[in-house]
Structure 1
Amino acid sequence: MNRITALAATAAVAASSIALTAPVAQAAPAKARAYSVSATANIEVAVAKEDTVKVRGRVTPKAAGQKVTLQQRVGNKKRWVSTGTAKIKANGTYKLTDKPSTPGSREYRVVKPASNGFAKGTSPSVEVEVYRWEKLGYRTFAGTGFASNGATIGTEYFTASLSTVTPGTAATAEFTLGRKCTALRATYALTDSSLSGSSGAVTVSADGKTLATHPLAVGTIVADEELDLTGVFRLKLDASTTATPAATAAVATPEVLCTR
């Protein structure tokens, strides 16, 4: 064997030895399959402290008897907050509920924790706009002739009402709603301090458009009327009363349904 042949043989043996002793690269462990979670809400618009949001969906695989968690975040907040849990039924479905107490837009999602070799699953978020009834009498208004106080009508006391101050003098109150409210509810009447034979009237308008006009006399009560304020920027109340006999007109406990 000549020198060149010997060197080639030696190199081949060395390469073979390295190949036999080199560590074998380990394949990355397979990523666990995640639970699939669906979610839908029963309503898109809710009234705080009145409506219940029901979130329903399905978990795949079924994971019967295990729990899912309802999470929500309000407005522009980034953090999700857990607010309830429910058990998954035998068919893989679940139902979670929430009764919002504050106004504003919010998102809900449902989380199934990891288990049985499956990774955590999270549903797509669902949005619900929450409104709240607020006392209009507590808001700042422009105008004259109205006072924000209590009013007694038919022996019943109404808090946070708007009553005319001087019999025979027109009263006006304007409220900026900023297109954030969708409804007004109120009772319209002459107060129990009005004299027999007196009269008055209240007109409700929004952005220059008349929504309702109520002629009033002693004993006339327009109770719990609700008016649509969707898209309204400025709400206006006008009242007139007789001076003799003296009358006091009231918009009793007016409330607006607003997001914020």
Structure 2
Amino acid sequence: MNRLTTCAAAAAVALGSLSIAAPTHAAPAKAQTYTVTAKANLSEAVAKEDVVKVRGRVTPKAAGEKVVLQQRVGNKKKWTVTGNAKVKRNGTYLLTDKPSTPGPREYRVLKPGSRGIAKGFSKPVEVQVYRWEKLVSRTAGPRVNLDSTGVLIGAEYFGQSLATSVAGTPSSVEYTLGRKCTEMRATYALTDSSATGSSGAINVTGDGKVLASHALSVGTVVADEVLDLTDVFRLKLDLTTSETPAAVAAVATPEVLCTR
């Protein structure tokens, strides 16, 4: 009986040893992913004038490998590739873009996967892009005694301008900007067709607030004046001219800096 008990105990110990010695399987290691940071030099840019510079760092460094600049404009969901560059020895990079169209946009940077490391994206960087456009190309609201035409001022031609059509009659035009424009630039003067001794005046208002006011006479030119249109919803231009001697007042080649 004791012998049987002894044999059973020995078998139990052997089974226990086998159980303890059974190999265990560790969970697979998580794949490494590139970490990418990005920062733009501008939060607002002018189309066809400013260069947006996107800088950042890739971790691990991936020196000599490629990073890709992507962007999307407005409400578009698709990202478009617009440039690439090589990662420097210290893991940093520089990407550039010169936007040609207005509107809000986002930039992000992709580091493609390599050397067993998965691809990584930076967080999106937002940039608002504006563009200079001819004011007379925009849809006008109420317009009185004012023509869209070319004018001569000091023997210099200004295309796409606004000029009074009947001397001595008040003239005006309104444009809805919708708070999407930040600046306006224009030249104000009497045209070369105005009689000697004639006079006039120009007033520019934004939502009823006076932005500029100038008295005009032959030979007086207010050249390339820039006005702040920040948060202006409705822009209005009022011009007056003398009837005798007859004058023609002009807002020469007005442009507004707007986004979509």
TM-score (norm 2): 0.89
Q: What do residues 5-61 of structure 1 show as CA deviations (whole Å, max 9, x unaligned)?
A: xxxx9xx9xxx9xx9xxxx99766433201110000001001111111000001111
Q: What do residues 109-162 of structure 1 show as CA deviations (whole Å, max 9, x unaligned)?
A: 000000112110100000000111111111222120110111111111111100
- For 1:140 and 1:53, locate their aligned partners in 2 and report how far apart those are by CA, in whole Å: 30
- For 1:170 and 1:44, locate their aligned partners in 2 and report how far apart those are by CA, in whole Å: 42
Q: Does 1:137 align with 2:157?
A: no
Q: What do residues 217-244 of structure 1 show as CA deviations (whole Å, max 9, x unaligned)?
A: 1111111111111111100000001111
- Corresponding residue of 1:6: none
The amino acid that maps onto 2:68 is T
Alignment of 1:16-27 (within 5 A): none
- For 1:29 and 1:79, locate their aligned partners in 2 and report how far apart those are by CA, in whole Å: 34
Alignment of 1:1-260 (within 5 A): 29-141=28-140, 142-260=142-260
Question: Gapped runs of 5+ residues in structure 2?
Answer: 1-7
Q: What do residues 175-228 of structure 1 show as CA deviations (whole Å, max 9, x unaligned)?
A: 111111111111101111111111111000010111110111111111111111
- For 1:146 and 1:26, locate their aligned partners in 2 and report how far apart those are by CA, in whole Å: 85
Assess if the C-alpha contact under 8 Å between 1:189 and 1:222 holds in 2.
yes
What secondary structure is seen at the aligned counterpart in 2 of 1:143? strand
Assess if the C-alpha contact under 8 Å between 1:138 and 1:148 holds in 2.
no
What secondary structure is seen at the aligned counterpart in 1 of 2:144? coil
- For 2:151 and 2:26, locate their aligned partners in 1 and report how far apart those are by CA, in whole Å: 79
Q: Which moved more, 1:181-190 or 1:25-34?
A: 25-34
CA-atom RMSD, angstroms?
1.9
What secondary structure is seen at the aligned counterpart in 2 of 1:137? helix
The amino acid that maps onto 2:201 is A
Q: What do residues 51-72 of structure 1 show as CA deviations (whole Å, max 9, x unaligned)?
A: 1100000111111111100000
- For 2:43 and 2:32, locate their aligned partners in 1 and report how far apart those are by CA, in whole Å: 32
Question: Gapped runs of 5+ residues in structure 1?
Answer: 1-8
The amino acid that maps onto 2:107 is Y
The amino acid that maps onto 1:203 is N
The amino acid that maps onto 1:114 is G
- Corresponding residue of 1:3: none
- For 1:77 and 1:217, locate their aligned partners in 2 and report how far apart those are by CA, in whole Å: 50
Count matched residues.
Answer: 243
- For 2:249 and 2:107, locate their aligned partners in 1 and report how far apart those are by CA, in whole Å: 45
What secondary structure is seen at the aligned counterpart in 2 of 1:200? strand
TM-score (norm 1): 0.89
The amino acid that maps onto 2:177 is L
| Sequence identity percentage | 68
What secondary structure is seen at the aligned counterpart in 1 of 2:143? coil
- For 1:94 and 1:49, locate their aligned partners in 2 and report how far apart those are by CA, in whole Å: 23
